[in-house]
Amino acid sequence: MLKTVGAAAVLFAGGATGAEIGRLYSRRPREIKALMGALLLLQTQISYVAAPLGEALSVVALRADPKVEAFFSHAAGYLNASCGLTAAEAWDKAVAEVFPDSSLREEDLDVLRDLSAALGNSDREDQALHISLALERLKALAVAAEEDARRFVRLYRFLGFGAGLCLIVLLF
């Protein structure tokens, strides 16, 4: 009886670990798309409303997908605090604080970091171009992330259960 319970626990643990790794793959494209939606909103705020960046980021934080809302509210908070931070510093600080808990990878965050250097330093036309460029790069990453998700989600779930089964065979 105890052996059965132990085996079930090992199998569950293996399956859960595989499912969790698989979930990271499936979450990443959704988070990239949420980021793209928010950047599109930011582009609108800058191009059509000409809202100051602090205000624009606050608006985006209110309307964006909850998956990326924290990033924009952190960036807005730093920028509006008048603590002597440039837009790039506020933005990069928010990237460093918020995204370690996400499924986004370094290459996704590099797009955000590259965008930060241009934020607020030029006219509307130029700002819109920089955001469009970031959106294009994110779009390509989202396609790759979806492909990864399709390939790896089931693979890792299977591997998790498989590893659990192997362990049961070895232990018992």
Minimum distance from residue 26 beta carbon to other proteins (Å)? 35
Nearer to other proteins, 101 or 123 (CB): 123
Nearer to other proteins, 115 or 141 (CB): 115
Q: Give the residue among 113, 105, 134 at the shortest CA–CA distance from 36.
A: 134
Minimum distance from residue 148 beta carbon to other proteins (Å)? 34
Tell me whether residue 147 is exposed, middle or buried, using C-beta atoms within 10 angstroms of its C-beta: 0 to 12, 13 to 18, 19 or more.
Answer: exposed
Minimum distance from residue 81 beta carbon to other proteins (Å)? 10
Minimum distance from residue 50 beta carbon to other proteins (Å)? 5
How far apart, in whole angstroms, are the C-alpha atoms of residue 32 and residue 68? 9
Residue 119 phi/psi, 5-degree rounding, is -65, 125
Interface positions with other proteins (CB under 8 A): 46, 50-54, 56, 79, 82, 84-88, 90, 119-124, 126-127
Nearer to other proteins, 47 or 166 (CB): 47
Residue type at position 95: V
Residue found by looking up tokens 């492909």 in the block: 147
